[in-house]
Amino acid sequence: MTGVIKFSGSYSDYGFLSNFYPAPFIYKNWFCHTSEHAYQAEKTLVPAQQSMILVASSPGKAKKFGRKVTLRPDWEQVKEQVMLDICLQKFLQNPDIADMLVATGDAILVEHTPWGDYYWGDGGDGTGKNRLGFILQAVRSALSGQREV
């Protein structure tokens, strides 16, 4: 598949690419309902705050809790590597969606974020950094044996 694939939310055609998609996996000995749960828990080094996030009843609640944690001091330096590690584990431990990711071929993956996420998504207007899209493309390459992550 060639071209551009835009995804927005966990229930769109390519919703499995979303961090809100229900694809449970183990990360750092944590059971994670979604990659959003894992990402938000990584924002802090306080075990009680991590636990609160990991047991959140939805990825939206995990994100909400993640906005209130004691942010780890190196967060800005490590957040992209953390996202890459989490996404890789999500797909390695869920072969059904790993196959779906690989099936996107060489398409450019874009998280369409009309809510204005200009870092992880396109900001809704196409001017965002789309870092999640690029990370998913790297995971896809690793899964298809093209290169190591």
Give the tens place of pLDDT for each residue, 8-54.
988 888 999 999 999 999 999 999 999 999 999 999 999 999 999 99
Binning pLDDT at 50, 70 and 90, where does residue 2 land?
Answer: confident
Q: Where are the domains of the chain?
A: 4-143
Model pLDDT, residue 11: 83
Model pLDDT, residue 136: 98
Record the pTM. Answer: 0.94
- DSSP lists the bridge partners of residue 26 as 31
Give the tens place of pLDDT for each residue, 103-135.
999 999 999 999 999 999 999 999 999 999 999
Q: Rounded to whole angstroms, how far apart are CA atoms 36 and 22?
A: 10
- DSSP lists the bridge partners of residue 7 as 111
Closest CA to 20 of 7, 34, 30: 34
Binning pLDDT at 50, 70 and 90, where does residue 93 land?
Answer: very high
Binning pLDDT at 50, 70 and 90, where does residue 147 land?
Answer: low
Distance of CA 73 to the CA centre of its chain: 21
Compute the CA torsion angle 8, 37, 92, 99 (nearest 10 deg). -20
CATH architecture of 4-143: Orthogonal Bundle (1.10)
Closest CA to 20 of 4, 40, 47: 40
Q: Rounded to whole angstroms, how far apart are CA atoms 110 and 132?
A: 8
Strand-pair category, 108-111 with 4-7 = parallel
Closest CA to 8 of 149, 123, 144: 123
Q: How many CB atoms lie within 10 A of CB 90?
A: 26
Model pLDDT, residue 146: 60
Model pLDDT, residue 145: 84
Does 78 have pLDDT greater than 60?
yes
